[in-house]
Chains A and B, each alone.
Chain A
Amino acid sequence: MRRVAVILLALALVTLAAVTAGYGSGRTANDHRGGTLKLVAKTAGGTLDPQVNYTLQYWQLYQATHDGLLGFTKAGGDAAFTVVPDIAENLPTPTNGGKTWVFKIRKGIKFSNGKDVTPADVVASFQRIFKVKSPTSGTFYAGIVGASACLKKPATCTLKGGVTADEQAGTVTINLTAPDPEFKYKLAVPHASIVPADSPAKDAGTKPLPGTGAYYFASYNPNKLLVMKRNPHFKEWSHAAQPDGYPDEIDYSFGLNAEAEITAIENGQADWTLEQPPADRLGEIGTKYAKQVHINTLTAFWYVPMNTRMAPFNNLKARQAVSYAIDRNAAVKIFGGPKLATPSCQVLPPGFPGHQDYCPYTKNPGTKWSAPDLAKAKQLIAESGTAGQKVTIVTPDDEVNKAMGVYLQSVLNQIGYKAAVKPISGNIFFTYVQNTKNKVQINTQQWYQDYPAASDFLYILFGCESFHPGSDSSINIAGFCDKKINAQMHKALKLAIEDEKAANALWAKIDKMVTDAAPMATLCTPKHIDFVSKRVGNFTFSKQFYWLVDQSWVK
């Protein structure tokens, strides 16, 4: 009798062990669901309207709250550049010579207010881009049929013939005036989010608009707090386009300064900060908190546009001299050291489609920058005859930009100019330097990609059509307009429709041509630091939208 009891007991124990062993080994994803993610930033990012807001701060959040017909893959690294169908069922090949795109709308997707998404909502959303005067309405979406009428009279925008819905078939057809191989990207950015048809026809400001994402905006006070909660009507339809998220709630607080934010994360009172760590905390977080630091290269570049229509930089040799004289290692030091930036001479950042290493502005010109060539710089200045002229460098007044400006002033003085630095408020800086009326000779600038296309750097920044004298919005700050290079750019844009590889090769050549013409001096390719608290897990960095906020867990 006793022996049987012992055997039974042993069996029971073994079974128990077997069962619990299964639980103990791998943790399922469901174990991480829940909790509140706490984000902090110095200030809010402005309007919450996804069709108006143009800040990286909120584009990072829109990935989780809104969807377009297409979307960027929510994954880490370069996979993030791949466009996949989102609210549309398929990524269509455009017909009619590349001018017609037909999308089948998925059934069963609901907005956060419970209503179904219909083709009528899609049409209304595209009309709304113009009605709310979205910043890219005239640049990204001007190629849609009927757009020019909408740009002239936004209030009555119909996009007749441009965006039409077929409720029976459940499709939406978009007609363009000319083929556009970058159109798929333009449909994947937040400005093309699909919102309910009854959304107000003006900037929604602080009132959240219902979206289809895994989360919705529950409340927004731009002075204090933005709250995102799980969308109760969300059911994952495409893990690549809109995956389910881990935290139950995301709280984004505003108002702390950069130093306090770092301390808060160190103490576990916050999980992540938008701002890059201030210079004097870098050493601390790089050593004591190294495990909580994530560094990623950005598809971006820091450069110094030089006004090609004003003395002294209307002279090619003067501009090239500046590029030869800048010690890009010093610029990297200002940025925080070689772990946070790499020197660069050209426009396209490494890893970008169309990038080929090229650097003429160094000792031993070739593919990589090694050292400044002051002698060559001074010689070029002498040949240009611009020595002794007064130059004012305009920068925003934040720490790093101001330091870059002060350094540049030192360099310009060294090669023979009389340089001064003028830091102005970061909030007015960007429009100030674009307006030719302000007669800016040289300034510091950063450019981050909107989407992964070489034209987003070369054509937008250095194309003749991007120059608007007397306007606050003239992103071709250098005023650069070279007919030959511009023609090549148009050629590359057309080429991309048929042969993307050939087009990228042509863009690489254009990159070299623009770099040689030196409308700017490139400084470096920046890296991005994300400092998170100890409890944050599964940190994923998308090259398109940076940290995928809702794909990290806190439990």
Chain B
Amino acid sequence: MSETVAGDVPAVVGGQIAVGGSPWVVARRRLLRNWIAIAMLGVFVGIVVLCLAAPLYADYVAHTDPFQSNLQGTIVVDGKTVPVMQEASGGLGLGVTPIGPTWDLHHYFLGADDQGRDVAARLLYGGRNSLLIGTAAALLTSVIATLIGLVAGFFGGIVDGVLSRLLDVVWAFPVYLLAISLSTVLLTRGFSVGPLELESGSLLLPISIIGVVYIPYVARPIRGEVLSLRRREFVEAAIGLGASTRRLLWSDILPNVVTTTIVFFPLMMALAMLTEAALSFLSIGVQPPDASWGTIILDGQSLLYTRPAVALAPGIAIAITVLALNVLGDGIRDALDPRAKLRGIR
């Protein structure tokens, strides 16, 4: 997706300025040239804006409360009053089917779900939660992983030993299994440690669980990078000159590491959103009545053969958002580090 032009000097080399301005300016220029990445950024921003506008849509356009069950409701379609939940009429009259997509933005654009609620409105609200959890979890992962990677890589010795073992244990526990285990337990009980109390319906639970579970994923590469940076000449020189640890970390090592963190960030967002969708689908992510794209897919599962729109729409939404994040992440990585130093990342 990007071109490696032979002879192009990478923007970041040992923290020193190379060509054409500060590394960030060079990077930005490079990113802006990558029109696919910019297009995807636009798509992503568009999705975010749409989802943030969920209350506006629900109140002013669709006139619906997507969190209120509407099993006995009716709407007017083509001049006829139709029940939202239609009882089967043929044969033995078994089953109740929600109304299908009306393709009318003013009501039940994508049809109703099993509680008679407007799927389109819930899709937007669900997007808010999915994006929120994805961003917050990725932020949590990035910050803590960078800290751990810095400390472990820089100080070495016992500190590194302990932290690395901890990372190994968490990482050896298969990611989804750990997430599922923690979610199952914490959801039944809620989480209270000292003053920190999270009720089982709180969004902070999936955010923290997903955030924690991916820490080793980011921490290890960062630790590796800090390790290699630490051995570089400029750091040794700085130490020789009597620079304090804090100054070293802050001005020499951190800026380089931050690049890695930034490159990882969209990727972690994508992973977090996919994980949240999986957990919600297994009923141990976002809890009702809150919606997320994963919970709507779960709702759609029981309607799959009769009203597939309920399951299809959130899946497509997730796919587009994650695709945009992946392409954007690629673009950022190429802009900041075109020599594909971090090619091992997926």
Any A–B CB pair closer than 8 Å: yes
B306 neighbours in A (Cβ, 8 Å): 280, 283
| Nearest-CB residue, chain B, relative to A423 | B283
Encoded as 1 (CB less than 8 Å from any B CB) or 0, chain A from 270 to 283 comes to 00000000111111
| Nearest-CB residue, chain B, relative to A410 | B69
Residue in A278, A287, A411, A423 whose beta carbon sits within 8 Å of that of B92 in the complex: A287
B304 neighbours in A (Cβ, 8 Å): 280
Question: Do B289 and A339 touch across chains, with their CB atoms under 8 A apart?
Answer: no
Given contacts A330-B69, A410-B68, contact A339 B188 (CB under 8 A): no
Chain A nearest CB from B2 CB (Å) reads 45
Question: Do B92 and A290 touch across chains, with their CB atoms under 8 A apart?
Answer: yes
Could you tell me the distance between the alpha carbons of A295 and B95 in the complex, rounded to whole angstroms? 13
Could you tell me the distance between the alpha carbons of A139 and B297 in the complex, rounded to whole angstroms? 44
B96 neighbours in A (Cβ, 8 Å): 279, 282, 333-334, 336-337
Chain B nearest CB from A279 CB (Å) reads 5
B262 beta carbon closer than 8 Å to chain A: no
Could you tell me the distance between the alpha carbons of A64 and B304 in the complex, rounded to whole angstroms? 38
Encoded as 1 (CB less than 8 Å from any B CB) or 0, chain A from 167 to 185 comes to 0000000000000000000
Question: Do B71 and A337 touch across chains, with their CB atoms under 8 A apart?
Answer: no
A283 neighbours in B (Cβ, 8 Å): 88, 90, 94-95, 97, 306
Question: Do B187 and A424 touch across chains, with their CB atoms under 8 A apart?
Answer: yes
A378 beta carbon closer than 8 Å to chain B: no
Residue in A284, A327, A420 whose beta carbon sits within 8 Å of that of B72 in the complex: A327
Encoded as 1 (CB less than 8 Å from any B CB) or 0, chain A from 19 to 44 comes to 00000000000000000000000000
A432 beta carbon closer than 8 Å to chain B: yes
Stretch at the interface among A75-83, A219-227, A396-404, A487-495: A396-404
A73 beta carbon closer than 8 Å to chain B: no
B287 neighbours in A (Cβ, 8 Å): 420-423
Question: Do A428 and B188 touch across chains, with their CB atoms under 8 A apart?
Answer: yes
| Nearest-CB residue, chain B, relative to A407 | B69
Question: Do B88 and A337 touch across chains, with their CB atoms under 8 A apart?
Answer: yes
| Nearest-CB residue, chain B, relative to A279 | B302
Residue in A286, A336, A406, A423 whose beta carbon sits within 8 Å of that of B69 in the complex: A406
B59 beta carbon closer than 8 Å to chain A: no
B283 neighbours in A (Cβ, 8 Å): 397, 402, 423
Could you tell me the distance between the alpha carbons of A406 and B289 in the complex, rounded to whole angstroms? 7
| Nearest-CB residue, chain A, relative to B97 | A283
Question: Do A336 and B94 touch across chains, with their CB atoms under 8 A apart?
Answer: yes
B94 neighbours in A (Cβ, 8 Å): 282-283, 285-286, 293, 336-337, 339-340, 529
Chain A nearest CB from B295 CB (Å) reads 11
Chain A, range 398-443, C-beta contacts under 8 Å to B:
399, 402-403, 405-407, 409-411, 413-414, 420-425, 428, 432
Encoded as 1 (CB less than 8 Å from any B CB) or 0, chain A from 459 to 481 comes to 00000000000000000000000
- Interface SS majority for chain A: helix
Count: A-B pairs, CB below 8 Å:
118
B288 beta carbon closer than 8 Å to chain A: yes
B115 neighbours in A (Cβ, 8 Å): 403, 406-407, 410
Question: Do B85 and A279 touch across chains, with their CB atoms under 8 A apart?
Answer: no
A329 beta carbon closer than 8 Å to chain B: yes
B236 beta carbon closer than 8 Å to chain A: no
Could you tell me the distance between the alpha carbons of A420 and B201 in the complex, rounded to whole angstroms? 8
B288 neighbours in A (Cβ, 8 Å): 402, 405-406, 409, 421, 423
Residue in A282, A397, A405, A413 whose beta carbon sits within 8 Å of that of B95 in the complex: A282
Encoded as 1 (CB less than 8 Å from any A CB) or 0, chain B from 82 to 113 comes to 00010110111111110000000000000000
Chain B nearest CB from A203 CB (Å) reads 27
A402 neighbours in B (Cβ, 8 Å): 283, 288
Chain A nearest CB from B131 CB (Å) reads 22
Given contacts A280-B304, A293-B92, contact A337 B87 (CB under 8 A): yes
| Nearest-CB residue, chain A, relative to B70 | A410
- Interface SS majority for chain B: loop
Chain A nearest CB from B129 CB (Å) reads 15
Question: Do B114 and A279 touch across chains, with their CB atoms under 8 A apart?
Answer: yes
Could you tell me the distance between the alpha carbons of A425 and B68 in the complex, rounded to whole angstroms? 24
A338 beta carbon closer than 8 Å to chain B: yes
Chain B nearest CB from A281 CB (Å) reads 7
Given contacts A330-B72, A403-B114, A407-B115, contact A286 B201 (CB under 8 A): no
Chain A nearest CB from B71 CB (Å) reads 4
B60 beta carbon closer than 8 Å to chain A: no
Chain B nearest CB from A294 CB (Å) reads 10
Chain B nearest CB from A401 CB (Å) reads 12
Question: Do A339 and B92 touch across chains, with their CB atoms under 8 A apart?
Answer: yes
Could you tell me the distance between the alpha carbons of A280 and B299 in the complex, rounded to whole angstroms? 12
A339 neighbours in B (Cβ, 8 Å): 92-94
Chain A nearest CB from B90 CB (Å) reads 5
A340 neighbours in B (Cβ, 8 Å): 94
| Nearest-CB residue, chain A, relative to B308 | A280
Chain B, range 275-303, C-beta contacts under 8 Å to A:
283, 287-289, 302-303
Residue in B67, B69, B90, B305 whose beta carbon sits within 8 Å of that of A281 in the complex: B305
Question: Do B302 and A337 touch across chains, with their CB atoms under 8 A apart?
Answer: no
Chain A nearest CB from B278 CB (Å) reads 16
Question: Do B305 and A329 touch across chains, with their CB atoms under 8 A apart?
Answer: no
Question: Do B95 and A336 touch across chains, with their CB atoms under 8 A apart?
Answer: yes
B88 neighbours in A (Cβ, 8 Å): 282-283, 286-287, 337
B200 beta carbon closer than 8 Å to chain A: yes
A336 neighbours in B (Cβ, 8 Å): 94-96
Given contacts A280-B303, A286-B90, contact A413 B68 (CB under 8 A): yes
Could you tell me the distance between the alpha carbons of A402 and B302 in the complex, rounded to whole angstroms? 12
Chain B, range 59-78, C-beta contacts under 8 Å to A:
67-69, 71-72
Encoded as 1 (CB less than 8 Å from any B CB) or 0, chain A from 200 to 240 comes to 00000000000000000000000000000000000000000
Question: Do A327 and B71 touch across chains, with their CB atoms under 8 A apart?
Answer: yes
Could you tell me the distance between the alpha carbons of A409 and B67 in the complex, rounded to whole angstroms? 10
A422 neighbours in B (Cβ, 8 Å): 187, 200-201, 287
Encoded as 1 (CB less than 8 Å from any B CB) or 0, chain A from 102 to 143 comes to 000000000000000000000000000000000000000000
Binding site for B on A (CB under 8 A): 278-288, 290, 293, 295, 327, 329-330, 333-334, 336-340, 397, 399, 402-403, 405-407, 409-411, 413-414, 420-425, 428, 432, 529
Q: 25 A-B contacts, Cβ less than 8 Å apart?
A: A279-B302, A279-B303, A280-B302, A280-B304, A282-B96, A283-B90, A284-B305, A286-B95, A293-B92, A333-B72, A337-B93, A337-B95, A397-B283, A406-B115, A406-B288, A409-B289, A410-B68, A411-B69, A420-B287, A421-B287, A422-B287, A423-B287, A424-B187, A425-B188, A432-B188
Binding site for A on B (CB under 8 A): 67-69, 71-72, 85, 87-88, 90-97, 114-115, 184, 187-188, 200-201, 283, 287-289, 302-307
Known: A422-B187, A422-B287. 14 other contacts (CB 8 A): A279-B303, A280-B307, A283-B95, A286-B90, A286-B95, A327-B71, A327-B72, A333-B72, A339-B94, A406-B69, A407-B71, A409-B288, A413-B68, A423-B283
Query: What are the nearest 6 A-B pairs in CB distance?
Result: A282-B95, A286-B94, A287-B91, A410-B69, A330-B71, A286-B92
